[in-house]
Amino acid sequence: MKQTKGNWHTYSYTDLDGIERHGVTSSNCKYIGEGMTEADAKLLASAPEMLEMLRKCCSQAKFSRFHKHELADLIVRAEGGE
């Protein structure tokens, strides 16, 4: 699975039932997701930054081997691995 690069941004819209919904797009206007709550959209939009932070944390020597292994597994899953 290939990641969509760049910063992700939230947007809001009103659906056909008049309910405010939220979505996420990439900096090149690719739709990431829509039809969600504002909180979920904000969480999803921060995913690229969180993944980068996980990578930085995993490279830090101060983490125990156990935690590094957990972080590495999480990064693999976030990048589409099993």
- For 3-41, what is each residue's pLDDT tens digit? 777 789 999 999 999 999 999 999 888 999 999 999 999
pTM of the model: 0.76
Kindly state whether residues 51 and 40 are assigned to the same domain. Answer: no
Using CB atoms within 10 Å of the CB of residue 20, give its burial: 0 to 12 exposed, 13 to 18 middle, 19+ buried.
Answer: exposed
Instruction: State both tokens at 15.
Output: 């659906």
Question: How many structural domains is the chain composed of?
Answer: 2
Residue 2, in any domain of the structure: no
- Residue 1, pLDDT > 60, answer no
Kindly state whether residues 11 and 41 are assigned to the same domain. Answer: yes
Write down the pLDDT at residue 12. Answer: 97
Write down the pLDDT at residue 81. Answer: 78
Task: Compute the distance between CA of residue 79 and CA of residue 58 in angstroms, rounded to an integer.
Answer: 15
Contact criterion met (CB below 8 Å) for 65 and 49: no
Residue 68, in any domain of the structure: yes
Query: The domain containing residue 39 runs over which residues?
Result: 7-45
Write down the pLDDT at residue 9. Answer: 94
